[in-house]
Amino acid sequence: MKELRIPSWTGLCDAGGKIILGLGNDIYQIAIAIVEGVETGAAKVTFNEADQDRKHRYGADGIIDLFPSLRSGIELREGDITEVAAPSLITRHWEMAEHSSTVLREALVTYFKPYITDSLANERTYEDTLVIHLRGGDALNEWAQIAWRPSPAPYEFYRDAIERSAKSEILIVTTPPQNGKMHPFVDRIGQEFGAEVQHGTLLEDFSVLINCSNLVLDFSTFGYTAALMNTSLKNVFISKYVDKKGRALLNDIHGDIGYTMPEIEGCRVHVYDYPDLAIKTGQPTKPLLGRGWRLATRDTVSGYAWDVRRSAFMQGGEEITGISCSSGFALPENPSAYGPQNAFHDGKTFWGGRANEQRWLALGIIDARAASLDQVVLEQGEQHFVTSVRIDAMDENGTWHEVGMVEGLRPGLNHILIADLVGGPPRLSTWSDAGDFGPPHDASCPEVITVIRGGLPGSGFGSYFFLEVVGLIEDCLAKGDENFVVIPKTDTASSYFPREGTPRVNLWSTFFEPINEHLLGCLDSSELIHTDYDLTLHVQQGRIKAWPFGEHVDGELDAWFRTNRNRGHAIVSRYFTPRDEITRRVQSLWRENFDSAGPVLGLHMRGTDKLAAGGRRIVESMEYLPSVESFMEQHPDGKIFVATDDSGLLDWLERTGVPVVCQEAFRSSGAAGLFDLPYDEGPEEHGREVLVDIYALARCDFLVHGLSSVVEAAMYLNPDLHDRSINLEYERPQLRPWHRMPGGGGELVRVT
């Protein structure tokens, strides 16, 4: 991938006789490089070379001295650097008139600001204060005023801004007097309105401008770039400037091309055009084309976040590219982790969206050219997703307009078809088997892909998603086939699907990260071989099993179980990764109950429909009690975790007075299978609760259990539990592993 390396800076500032860096010019140049880097797929933007050039030529500090966190450059995306190139360089003030303030703002807020936030002098937002930036220093030089600098805005501009803002406090930020010269309006505003004056260090002044809520801008890249990164703005006042050669730095006060501010949600932008004092007003017309497209919503199920794994704005089968924009994201100090750019390329990263101050969540793309839109691809996370979005288009003036609303969105992939940008609302496409697994990937596709579908009708969660999938993956690997994906059948796995009438999804991705995710985009182009798990396989000699039904076991059962568990571990440790939601739920359960405890004994108490599968019996509650009492006697500081599908078994255990911990979950009683019962949270929540139990059992120090696929799944995750567990359905003496005996081992007791 490419590194964009800025070779030199333009502009210096002589403040009070001291040469310092032209900070605003430097940041503006970096913004241009970021935009170019994002559009061309570059990995990073660096500027060490530019800083060294300035030190060599002028002996002046550089931006890296001010913000040491920028020393390694700005990361745009992950990747190895294979070439170095220079971005477009800005050398003249009027070149600002060629760029979109909207695009520059998104570039700086998303990629640059996170690197400098920790170095700022303060975070105060000055909500009751109008901050006025007056450019002093070299801007007051006679040569600059005659040769090129735009004439200062008239005093009426400042008076009108002060009156419109209706703020009781006024703070003027300006550079110290130079050779006795100071901006002529400093004293005048101070006398008429009682303003305070600040001329502090670069960081002190910049910190005010980048954080304040109400701001009046002078012609200055120092103030302008700070304002572009300011996410607290409620009011901003700016004048349309014209240089000494008659070149307007803003052609249209309603637009965003040139020296101006973009339209910002929650902020009123006042643009003044002299000499006729035309102030930006009016409602722009609805666009037919968009220079940018975004999805906006307040309808997130988690109330604060929105995870998007992939988004694409499409026209004629081509993805519209540009610079990403968003309302915000998690870990803003590290944009590469959860920044909006992650949603616009394939990979394992995603946009971890966060709302702005107005509680809006938004994700979009801004392009330099106008483009129409006919489809949006949106792949959402499983926990932080939205059910409806508003589609917005940016017009040629940089203003966002609502195009239409889309409802009925679900976790996973959604295809939104745009019927007509003006004549009709967008609509959701109908679900199809091929439309559920993401847009095509660039990677080359194999000729044949094996689709592992499972599964025996009526299988419980542990059997369907662990035992049967593990066995089918073993079959593939035994044939040297690594080109397989897991997509459960919709008929036999229907016990765990969301309610009827909701979009069908790849159910595997409801609980786990995709296996061989890179192949999901090849399902339309490769030949597919479907492999199912049926009763013939289920009883076949030598297959991996949860207990030895249909097997003739030579020798000890212990060796048979150990072999099966090691086989399961080899597959699960390589291919099974739970969704983040599952991991967080397990971590929360453990942190709240076990972090400060001694050893943890896990009890798996399988009841309900257990007798439906042959070769097992329901272990009665009282059979667990001797092991529980023995464990608590040996470890008074220990705790007990219970995983069960049967409310009756749990009630009995709690009535004995044994202190136990279990997750809040839906449970059954009698002989009805848990997944056959209605549940207000939806059938898929059954599966999530079982999976949390499995991963929690795998964390325990010891287990007491009967025969069950859930227990075997926990053993696949943590095979060390094989030597630290008691199976109450064994018909032989077993060691109580929590008794430490001289020479190792434990207390040998008969537990049947």
Domains and CATH numbers, the chain: 2-91 (no CATH), 120-279 (3.40.50), 293-429 (no CATH), 448-575 (no CATH), 580-749 (3.40.50.11350)
Distance CA(499)–CA(345), nearest Å, equals 32
Low pLDDT (below 70) residues in the chain:
11-21, 143, 178-180, 274-290, 333, 357-358, 368-371, 396-398, 418-444, 455, 457-458, 490-506, 521, 524, 550-555, 608-616, 668-683, 731-733, 739-752
Handedness of CA 554, 555, 556, 558 (dihedral sign): negative
Confidence (pLDDT) at 276? 56
SS3 assignment for 249-281: CECCCCCCEECCCCCCCCCEEEEEECCCCEECC
Give me the pLDDT at residue 752, please. 42
Question: What is the SS3 string spanning 694-721?
Answer: HHHHHHCCEEEECCCHHHHHHHHHCHHH
Question: Residue 268 and residue 265: Cα distance in Å, rounded?
Answer: 8
CA 561 – CA 572 distance, rounded (Å) = 16
Q: How far apart are CA 69 and CA 119, in angstroms?
A: 9
How far is the C-alpha of 330 from the C-alpha of 338, rounded, in Å?
A: 6
Count, in order, helices (H) and strands (E) of the chain.
21, 33
For 408-464, the pLDDT digits (tens) are 888 888 888 765 333 343 333 322 222 222 333 334 688 899 999 876 766 778 888
Q: What is the largest CA-CA distance in the chain?
A: 101
**DSSP string covering 424-482:** B--EEPPP-GGGGS-SPPSSPPPSEEEEEEE--TT--HHIIIIIHHHHHHHHHHHTT--
In three-state form (DSSP H/G/I as H, E/B as E, the rest C), the secondary structure along 210-241 is HHCCEEECCCCHHHHHHHHHCCCCCEEEEECC
DSSP 8-state class, residue 669: -
Q: Is 338 helix (H, G, I), strand (E, B) or coil?
A: helix
Residue 283 identity (one-letter amino acid): Q
- Long-range CB pairs of 194-200 (<8 Å, 24+ gap) are 194/170, 195/132, 195/170, 195/171, 196/169, 196/170, 196/171, 196/172, 197/171, 197/172, 198/171, 198/172, 198/173, 198/174, 199/136, 199/173, 199/174, 199/175, 200/121
Predicted local confidence at residue 430, as pLDDT: 29
H/E stretch holding 357: none
pLDDT of residue 219: 92
Report pLDDT for 564: 92
**What is the reported pLDDT for 742?**
37
**Would you say 716 and 722 are in contact if contact means Cβ atoms under 8 Å apart?**
no
- Give the DSSP H/E element, type plus range, for residue 645: none
Indicate whether this model's pTM tops 0.95: no
Q: Is the peptide bond between 287 and the residue preceding it cis, with omega within 30 degrees of 0?
A: no
What confidence score (pLDDT) does residue 335 get? 75
The closest of 659, 636, 661 to 738, measured between CA atoms, is 636
Distance (Å) of CA 249 to CA 13, 40, 77, 151, 268: 21, 27, 33, 12, 21
Question: Do 518 and 441 touch, CB atoms closer than 8 A?
Answer: yes
Cβ proximity of 78 and 43 under 8 Å: yes
Q: How far is CA 65 from CA 11, 60, 702, in A?
A: 17, 10, 56
Q: Are strands 290-297 and 361-371 parallel, antiparallel or unpaired?
A: antiparallel
Helix (H) or strand (E) holding 727: strand 725-727
Write the CB contacts of 516 (distance below 8 Å, at least 6 apart in sequence).
482, 483, 484, 485
How confident is the model at residue 221, as a pLDDT? 92
The torsion angles phi and psi of 187, rounded to 5 degrees, stand at: -65, -40
State the pLDDT at residue 443.
Answer: 41
Cα distances from 95 to residues 25, 91, 98, 312, in angstroms, run 12, 8, 6, 31
Q: DSSP state, 95? A: G
Residue 577 near residue 513 (C-beta atoms within 8 A): yes
Cα separation, 70 vs 115, whole angstroms: 6
For residue 52 the two structure tokens come to 């060294």
